[in-house]
Amino acid sequence: MSGHAHYREAHPLVFVITHYINLICMIMLAFSGFYIHFPFFNGFMGVARGMHFVAMYVIIINLTFRIIAAFFVKTATQLGSRAVDTDIKNWLPQEENKHQFLETVKYYLFLRKEGVISAKYGSLQKIAYLATIPLTYLQAYTGFAIYGPTMNMGFFSGGLEMVGGPMNMRIIHYFMMWVFIVFTMIHAYLANIYNLNPSKIIFLWKETDH
């Protein structure tokens, strides 16, 4: 699962950049979000709010671009391979992911010894990556629903009514940030548990042989 090479075909430059944008925006969003939730030092509220809004627009545009680009950019179909195909095919579940979900869970729970055959990503990994898409949009939605200028628009006020008012929406927004924090923790951990080569390719665009 890990003793493989990391080639640039797995992460073409454009996706290295979108990944950087995601990372930077997420850090800015979480930091400014925590500050807006509870200002732990003085003198930053105006900046924090500005940062929160700008980073949100950027990450939403970036995500939308990333999804569209998946239909045009070619990426590696397998780990440690230079063979490429349209990215969306490698992003969605591939043939090799079929029937492997439970086996992957077993592997991570130490219930089996051998690594699990997977395609570009494992079954769990694909579920997690795909889940972040609606979650990111939903997080923006919950944010707009507690944002003064937009909360009275029907699209958002309907959601407010559904959850029982802005306070509950605020709490949902807050919890969802924690979902992203926990996702990031697991993501960084699993990506780098075997060695740091995955970070070298995604951050430095540096290829490594196994």
Partner 1 sequence: MAQEAHGALHDLLEVRGVTRRDFLKYCGSVAAALGLSETMAPQIAAALEGAPKLLPALWINGGSCTGCTESIAQVDSPDVATIVLDYLSFDYFETIMATAGTQAEHNITKRVEEGGYIVIYEGSVMTGFDGRTLTAGAPDKTGLAILEEVASNALAVLAVGSCAVDGGWVKAHPNPAGATGVAAYLQSKNIKTPVVNLPTCPVNPEWIVAMVVQLLLVADRDVAKFVAATKWVTRDYTDEVTKEKVGLLMPAGIYGQSIHDNCPRRGHFENGEFVSKLGSKEEAMGYCLYKVGCKGPQTFTQCPVTRWNRRASWCVEAGSPCIGCGGLNWVDNNAPFLMRMSDMQLDGVLGLGNVQPGTAAAVVGGVAAAALVAHGLGMNAAGRVGDGPPMETAKAYDRKRAAKKGGDK
Determine the residue type at 15: F
* C-beta closer to partner 1: residue 15 or 34: 34
* C-beta closer to partner 1: residue 14 or 176: 176
* C-beta closer to partner 1: residue 48 or 63: 48
Could you give the CA distance from residue 177 to residue 179 in angstroms, rounded to a whole number? 5
Q: Does 185 bind partner 1 (CB under 8 A)?
A: yes
Q: Does 92 bind partner 1 (CB under 8 A)?
A: no
Binding span for partner 1 by CB under 8 A among 12-20, 127-135, 179-187, 199-207: 179-187
CB of 194 to partner 1, least distance (A): 5
Q: Does 19 bind partner 1 (CB under 8 A)?
A: no
Q: Does 174 bind partner 1 (CB under 8 A)?
A: yes
Among 193, 64, 207, CA closest to 134: 64
Pull the structure tokens for residue 192: 């780098």
Q: Does 115 bind partner 1 (CB under 8 A)?
A: yes
The CA R_g of the chain, rounded to the nearest whole Å, is 19
Would the CA dihedral through 179, 185, 188, 194 be positive or negative?
negative
Question: Do residues 163 and 172 lie in contact, with contact meaning Cβ atoms separated by under 8 Å?
Answer: yes
* C-beta closer to partner 1: residue 57 or 178: 178
Among 134, 150, 195, CA closest to 158: 150
Q: Which helix (H) or strand (E) holds 76?
A: strand 74-76
Question: Do residues 151 and 157 lie in contact, with contact meaning Cβ atoms separated by under 8 Å?
Answer: yes
According to CB under 8 A, which residues from 36 to 55 bind partner 1?
37-39, 41-48
Contact set with partner 1 (CB under 8 A): 1-3, 37-39, 41-48, 95, 98-100, 103, 107-108, 110, 112-117, 146, 148, 152, 157-158, 161, 164-168, 170-171, 174-175, 178, 181-182, 185-186, 189, 193-195, 210
